[in-house]
Chain A
């Protein structure tokens, strides 16, 4: 155990120096961070302003420039856990199916008789046909709308589940199709939330899917969870519908294929609209805040070619008629069409302030969420509190390390100093690995580092105590040290594996700060074993080779 090849020695020292190199940027946190931001900004925009160049030159480009990402509890920001109402999409799918189905069934009026939709739970479609003997034919027609679902497990399943009974058909999405749809809905939601958050331009937001239908959103630096909610909690579903009439009774019975929606501008005013929209927000290519001819805030938008064509055709056919601009089931405005709008652009104005116009433009650009989000968890941490925690964490780490070093040296003398070097190398290695991995440091994570300072010496202690025993048994110095390392090995490995099991459980079951703690702890375990059995040993070997001691007092 006392021979280490030269190349291994170089490797051990090299790793430590590399670790030091990668840990150094953390000492100049703000400077490195503005350097990174500036580099990213220049790469993105291609423009190099003097401020950006100054920020970039604040840190030499050839040095490592990754720093430990700070968790929300240290940096301040907002955290939201949202649940996507996936069932909304099921309902929308069924509602969209009905007009098509009605047309197809109406073509077979001779065999089926009159067809009508009966009230049924959301997400299902219940159809009654006049002649029960036509049910088989009706089922066939409906089946024509069903597609095979391709999934890993549900191969061969159809997208629609159809139940025929008496003279009614109950149609809903099959379980396989539901699973596929839900998956897509959540993925789309994640995508759209990411676009919206990116539009605001904050640094390093975390937007990840959690479980089947949840989305975790963490945005550092944002003022509050409420702000974030306003940005991502709005569905922003924009449609242009034709207006059938207006009224004051929200409970009036609309005709088939019509809906009654409230006005956003005027309390108590309700519009009756055709349910299927002329054009939707999906066909927008751009939206920017601006002002209308009266100087009031508005949003200018532009359609894509197909949207422009539909809108142009509709407006030229309906001059003099009002049409409604509907956002999230509220009629923002219902202007009268004065002339055909064929240029493919338009303006939304009314019932918004400048912030609102700005926000709406962002939302329209990013696209609508496929379904509404419910927020299950929200946290806002102020930046000052985070800074306090960083300061406290830094102070306590330094004091803890100093105290442990003092105690180790008092207990083991020179060997204690070796162990202390290892402990400090250990902290440096943890920081550098976290920087390179892009792992997030949280407040419990800092506690984890401090705890590691305490436990990292454990491996050294096991070895030293063993060496003491071997010495007491009368062995020569070199032999005692060699045996000490050998004998201590299995205890060190076993002891660390159990800690590792606990940390792994935390990582897989924990969230947020706890996960950060688990990551720090795990990295700390690996580095502490490395420093104890390689770095400490290397130092001891050097000392042995240099002093060739006849006796050792440990």
Chain B
């Protein structure tokens, strides 16, 4: 027999509900912890959401963060933050720092003159320093961006919920959205815990995670619906276990290929988008978990319509109705 790498055996008979109180409790605890973390530690907002200026400096000679700080401290900027950036691709003669200063202006971004002062001060410390990128966002825009970000995540959740409701049943939609909220909260919690930079691209990563997590859930739901039609009398909990075991191989397979691709990006993709990739990678992992341990449980508690052979008069008008029947 030809060799096949199988992370999941052909036949599995795992009882996914055996530890359901533990796993669900764990999820609930993790969500609560995330909320707590976000409330206490806050998020390390990037300038997109907070306003201010970031400057990326590069220099062939090593530097001390303290020296930079000393050079800039005298200039009277609020909220000065200097971090050194490391990446395996930099080598010996490349030293990168990110400098962030708070906003000073009411509407606009940091003025040219202030920027000049920062650059001159740094050039005095290190004459070889170059400024690879300079970005500033005024408080007016950042306030709007954060609002838009909220709307975006909300709109995506609602859109996905509406689609699943159309395509399946409302219980599935609720299950899916609870799983989505779970994923989003945990990812944001992770960003809070490690104080990773939270900006517009993080929101993009969150939305992608939403799509991915849902993708996973939908494949399981699709199979569950099929099994519901096939086995009309078996208890729901058994059917869910059956479904999950049947789709387990695919769930793991897809999660692994995605994780492989993202890990390559994490290692070789450079430091500029590292946080973005971290968000997506973490999202893939929790998305996979929430499909198995969160979404289904919600559906189980809510219960579903069992007799799929009789046409529901309400659903008869659904354009998908005929396409569904095998």
B-contacting residues of A (Cβ < 8 Å)? 73, 81, 83, 224-226, 229, 374-382, 384-385, 388-389, 392-393, 395-396, 399-401, 403-404, 407-408, 410-413, 443-444, 446-448, 450-451, 453-455, 457-458, 461-462, 465, 468-469, 472, 487, 490-491, 494-506, 509-514, 517-518, 521, 553-554
Contact = CB atoms under 8 A, between A and B. Distances in A.
Contacts of A83: 107, 140
19 contacts: A73-B272, A376-B141, A382-B130, A385-B56, A392-B89, A410-B5, A447-B273, A447-B277, A453-B261, A454-B262, A490-B323, A499-B214, A499-B215, A500-B211, A501-B163, A502-B211, A504-B159, A514-B200, A553-B4
B69 interface: no
B132 A461 contact: no
A224 B134 contact: yes
Contact of B132 (A229, A374, A384, A505): A384
A504 B204 CA distance: 11
A396 B140 contact: no
A509 B155 CA distance: 10
B112 interface: yes
B14 interface: no
B112 A400 contact: no
A376 B112 CA distance: 13
Contacts of B201: 444, 513-514, 517
B257 interface: yes
A336 to B, nearest CB: 36
B225 to A, nearest CB: 9
Contacts of A226: 112, 115
Contacts of B164: 498
A376 B253 contact: no
Contact of B211 (A378, A468, A498): A498
B40 to A, nearest CB: 29
Contacts, number: 247
B273 A498 contact: no
Interface string B118-150: 000000000000111111111011000000110
A169 to B, nearest CB: 33
Given A404-B261, A411-B6, 16 more contacts: A226-B112, A378-B134, A380-B133, A385-B272, A388-B272, A395-B268, A407-B257, A465-B247, A495-B216, A495-B219, A498-B163, A499-B212, A505-B207, A512-B200, A513-B200, A518-B204
Contacts of A225: 134
Contacts of B261: 400-401, 403-404, 450-451, 453-454
The winner among A83, A375, A446, A448 for most chain B CB atoms within 10 A is A375
Interface of B: 1-6, 10, 56, 58, 89, 107-109, 112, 115, 130-138, 140-141, 148-149, 151-152, 155-156, 159-160, 163-164, 167, 200-201, 203-204, 207-208, 210-212, 214-216, 218-219, 221-223, 226, 246-247, 249-250, 253-254, 256-262, 264-265, 267-270, 272-273, 276-277, 280, 323-324, 326
Contacts of B151: 509
Contact of B160 (A379, A443, A502): A502
Contacts of A401: 261
Nearest to B151: A509
Contacts of B221: 494
A522 B326 CA distance: 30
A465 B251 CA distance: 10
A446 B219 CA distance: 27
A510 B200 CA distance: 8
Contacts of A382: 130-133
A509 B269 contact: no
A553 to B, nearest CB: 5
A465 B4 CA distance: 13
Nearest to B256: A407
Contact of B141 (A81, A453, A461): A81
A491 B218 contact: yes
Contacts of A490: 222, 323-324
B100 to A, nearest CB: 14
Nearest to B56: A385
A472 B158 CA distance: 39
Contact of A447 (B130, B276, B323, B324): B276
B218 A494 contact: yes
Given A447-B277, A450-B265, A462 B258 contact: no
A503 B218 CA distance: 17
Nearest to A448: B208
B249 A465 contact: yes
B60 to A, nearest CB: 12
The winner among B107, B149, B260 for most chain A CB atoms within 10 A is B260
A499 B211 contact: yes
Contacts of B58: 384
A396 B267 contact: yes
A462 to B, nearest CB: 6
Nearest to B109: A378
Contacts of B134: 224-225, 378-380
Contact of A497 (B131, B148, B163): B163
A455 B253 CA distance: 10
Contact of B215 (A229, A496, A511, A521): A496
Contact of B159 (A399, A444, A501, A514): A501
B207 A451 contact: no
Contacts of B324: 490
A291 B108 CA distance: 37
A501 B156 contact: yes
A330 B140 CA distance: 30
Contact of A396 (B109, B132, B246, B264): B264
A377 B109 contact: yes
Nearest to A78: B134
Contacts of B132: 381-382, 384-385
B204 A510 contact: yes
B214 to A, nearest CB: 4
A454 B262 CA distance: 8
A83 B326 CA distance: 57
B262 A461 contact: no
Contacts of A518: 204
Contacts of A454: 257-262
Given A447-B277, A495-B219, A404 B2 contact: no
Contact of A503 (B89, B211, B262, B323): B211
A93 to B, nearest CB: 23
Contacts of A410: 3-5
